[in-house]
Amino acid sequence: MNLIRKFYYGDIPDEKAGGNEISKSSQSQPDEKSWPLWEVFIRSKQGLDHKHCGSLHAADAQMAIENARDVYTRRMEGVSIWVVESKYITASNPEEAGELYEPAKDKVYRHPTFYNLPDEVNHM
């Protein structure tokens, strides 16, 4: 497959780069443990659900909340924050989408529009 050779803003391919010297000092040593990843959920307004808005790294839950405040609510986008370490999220597998969601497809009687009522019946 052709590799992309078109250079857009923020997309200079590796082989066109060069020149910069390699500094050893600033390579995080392999022994440097990194802060875990957290998923952030924000309630934008009282009465609404918390909604996933992104992720960030933090040493612990308290720091995750403080960082989320700084990153995701600088313009009053939230009134409440949830954080959870990403490793605790279990996600459904897209490959199983068929088994999971298709059974709902042929159950049209679950929708109100399935039922034909006489015109005299209002507000139902």
Partner 1 sequence: MPVQDLEKKFQEKIDNEVKIEPKDWMPEAYRKTNLRQISQHAHSEVVGMLPEGNWITRAPSLKRKAILLAKVQDEAGHGLYLYSAAETLGMGRDEMINDLHSGKAKYSSIFNYPTLTWADIGAIGWLVDGAAIMNQVMLTRTSYGPYARAMVRICKEESFHQRQGFESLLVLSRGSKEQKEMCQDAINRWWWPALMMFGPKDSESSHSEQSMLWKIKRKSNDELRQNFVDMIAEQVKVLGMTLPDPDLKWNEQRKHYDFGEINWEEFWNVVKGNGPCNKQRLDARRKAHDEGKWVREAALAYAAKKAAERKDAA
Question: How would DSSP label each residue in 61-91?
Answer: HHHHHHHHHHHH-TTS--SEEEEEEGGG---
116 is a site residue for partner 1 (CB under 8 A): no
Binding residue (CB under 8 A) for partner 1 from 15, 76, 88, 93:
93
Only one of the segments 16-24, 41-49, 107-115, 116-124 lies at the binding site for partner 1 (rule: CB under 8 A); that segment is: 16-24
The structure tokens 């997309």 sit at: 11
Torsion, CA 66, CA 69, CA 70, CA 73, rounded to 10: 180
111 is a site residue for partner 1 (CB under 8 A): no
What is the contact surface with partner 1 in residues (CB under 8 A)?
1-14, 16-23, 25-28, 32-35, 37, 53-57, 59-60, 63, 70-71, 74-75, 91, 93-95
